[in-house]
Structure 1
Amino acid sequence: MENRFKIFISGQKYFGEEVLRLCKNLNIDIVGVCCPLDDKYIGKAARRWNIPIIPAGTLTADKMPECDLGITAHSFDYIGKKTRYIPKHGWLGYHPSLLPRHRGRSAIEWAIRMKEPITGGTVFWLNAGIDRGDIAYQDWCWIPPAYYLEPSKSAAKLWRDELCPMGLKLFEIALKDVLNGEIKRKPQDNQFSTFEPDTNVKDIFRPDLLMIEHK
């Protein structure tokens, strides 16, 4: 009997579903999914294919099935140390920035707010830090100057038009390489690193949030 490559996915929404679909197209076994129980994308797809679901926020090493690779796809769950060590090759995630720039949950919007001309996406290996793991694959795209006028709306558009398709393309490259036994890792250069707060959280006791224009 063929010993097929096994993947576990922690994710949600459209991007999570598309990563699941990508794995199916590559003939990869998906041994489980961690997602919100009401997710209408990857959750619905997992139920359709009878893939076991672990509710978002409850993933632990005790619940995690043995597999070759873990993937985070639009996941906000923290993958703990014991859980990170269960997959044979570790965990790959996608972050919509050119890491080490713009670590954190609002990476796209901060690149726009800082009026940067380019941004990009990074598939990286998860470690204990937030968006700090070794880089596997990266690509870039332009930020049109008109986007600077409405950072929040523009961030959603840039994700939809550029960074979401880019992430799927990078995951496809990464998965094909891993399937062929090729593992790429390059440490992030921390002299260029930035970390910004979540723009959806307004806390007057956080001076770093004063960088955000309050409307």
Structure 2
Amino acid sequence: MKIVFAGSSEFGIPALKKLKEKHQLLLIISQPDRPAGRNQRIKPCPIARFAREQGWELYQPENINSPESVDKISKLYPELLVTASYASLIKKELRQIPTFGAINLHPSLLPKYRGPTPIQTALLNGDHKTGTTIFRLTSRLDAGPILAQRELVILPEDNYGSLKEKLANISAELLIEIIPAIKDNSLTERPQDENLASYTHKFSKKDLWINWDNKIKNIFNQIRAFSPSPGARTSIHNTNLKILQAEIYDSSKNDKPGTIAGFIKNKGILVNCQDGQLLITRIQAEGKKVMSAWAFQLGARLSAGESFVPFNQIFMENSFREEL
């Protein structure tokens, strides 16, 4: 099938690879290069970077729905438009160009978790199951009829990075499986149940900071949801830290939340939460490389009884309005 692909994040790369292998990939569309990072250097999004590395034709319009974009895509006579985390609305004129319309890959079991952060939200909520949905694009956000779904069990050791990779791979596999049925019109579409719809939102920097007064499971899930990037945050000894991995160690013991309860040799740092102790195992100090929490505490000379900076103090000293 002749396909145009639109995407921006790493989530779409496995699907892009599969489409290139199995079908005629006419064009790859991604967002324009933007300023990123502390130095605000102009950088391509992951899809654009990957396409350039492969030497594939890339198109980066400021507005995919502009007359110029519509004209360019129309002249290719595509049969299908596939999108995956493209981060822009695809309007009706563009959706109607391909013979078999436009479809999207979404990393949740729609109608649950519509919107931009379904993977992080599933982890934050402590869900045990998620999945991927391929649906037909309409004018409403993630609300089009479902073409196919596949479930995935969320393991206790999963974090945002591992879960995103798994969902990206099963989305790519499912896409390749259903394209023949799309072409011969043998795929049954089913409408989403609006009564079951839920929505996710973009996170701000405030969402990254750990409130040690919270329940231990909530803190554990927060660390998973933002690891390996951008990382759940805390601070001690005037040093900001990313907490990248932790374990629920003991739900029967606790002391003042945020205090260091002790250390486990060659493993990490025990921290008191509202209803138990969390074992921090991997950490990254600001401007430093990722290391074991045990190695960090040796260098930082932490002591039992010391406290991480309280969430309210962090909140008062910083502005967290900006989105991630």
Q: TM-score, normalised by structure 2?
A: 0.54
What amino acid sits opposite 1:55 in the alignment? Q
In the other structure, the counterpart of 1:208 is none
In the other structure, the counterpart of 1:82 is 93
Q: Which residues of 2 match residues 60-99 of structure 1 at below 5 A?
A: 60=65, 62=67, 63-64=69-70, 65-66=73-74, 67-99=78-110
What amino acid sits opposite 1:12 in the alignment? S
| 1:13/1:42 contact within 8 Å kept | no
In the other structure, the counterpart of 1:197 is 201
In the other structure, the counterpart of 1:35 is 30
| Larger CA Rg, structure 1 vs 2 | 2
5+ residue gaps, structure 2, are: 34-43, 208-217, 223-232, 234-310, 312-324
What amino acid sits opposite 1:45 in the alignment? A
Q: Does 1:186 align with 2:197?
A: no
Q: Over aligned residues, Cα RMSD in angstroms?
A: 2.8
Deviation at 1:144, TM superposition (A): 2.8
Cα pair distance change 1:172/1:112, threshold 3 Å: same
Deviations, residues 65-97 of structure 1 (Å, cap 9, x unaligned):
131110102211211121111112111111111
Pick the aligned partner of 1:118 from 114, 129, 134. Answer: 129
In the other structure, the counterpart of 1:58 is 63
In the other structure, the counterpart of 1:150 is none
* 3-state SS of paired residue (2:105): strand
* 3-state SS of paired residue (2:97): coil
Give 1 or 2: higher helix fraction: 1
What amino acid sits opposite 2:14 in the alignment? E
Deviation at 1:190, TM superposition (A): 1.2
Deviations, residues 23-63 of structure 1 (Å, cap 9, x unaligned):
2222x222222113524545543685553x33154212632
Q: Does 1:17 align with 2:23?
A: no
| 1:116/1:143 contact within 8 Å kept | yes
What amino acid sits opposite 1:111 in the alignment? A
| 1:61/1:82 contact within 8 Å kept | no
Cα pair distance change 1:84/1:200, threshold 3 Å: farther
| 2:2/2:26 contact within 8 Å kept | yes
Cα pair distance change 1:164/1:17, threshold 3 Å: closer
Q: Which moved more, 1:71-80 or 1:30-39?
A: 30-39
| 1:9/1:72 contact within 8 Å kept | yes
Q: Which residues of 2 match residues 168-183 of structure 1 at below 5 A?
A: 168-183=172-187
Deviation at 1:197, TM superposition (A): 1.4
Pick the aligned partner of 2:2 from 6, 9, 12. Answer: 6
Percentage of matched positions with identical amino acids = 24
Pick the aligned partner of 1:131 from 115, 134, 142. Answer: 142
In the other structure, the counterpart of 1:207 is none
What amino acid sits opposite 2:13 in the alignment? E
Cα pair distance change 1:56/1:15, threshold 3 Å: farther
Q: TM-score, normalised by structure 1?
A: 0.78
In structure 2, C-alpha distance between the alignment counterparts of 1:136 and 1:75, rounded to whole Å: 19
Q: How many residues are paired up? A: 195
Cα pair distance change 1:40/1:98, threshold 3 Å: closer
Cα pair distance change 1:113/1:17, threshold 3 Å: closer
In the other structure, the counterpart of 1:158 is 163
* 3-state SS of paired residue (1:76): coil
Deviations, residues 166-198 of structure 1 (Å, cap 9, x unaligned):
111111112232244433311001111101211
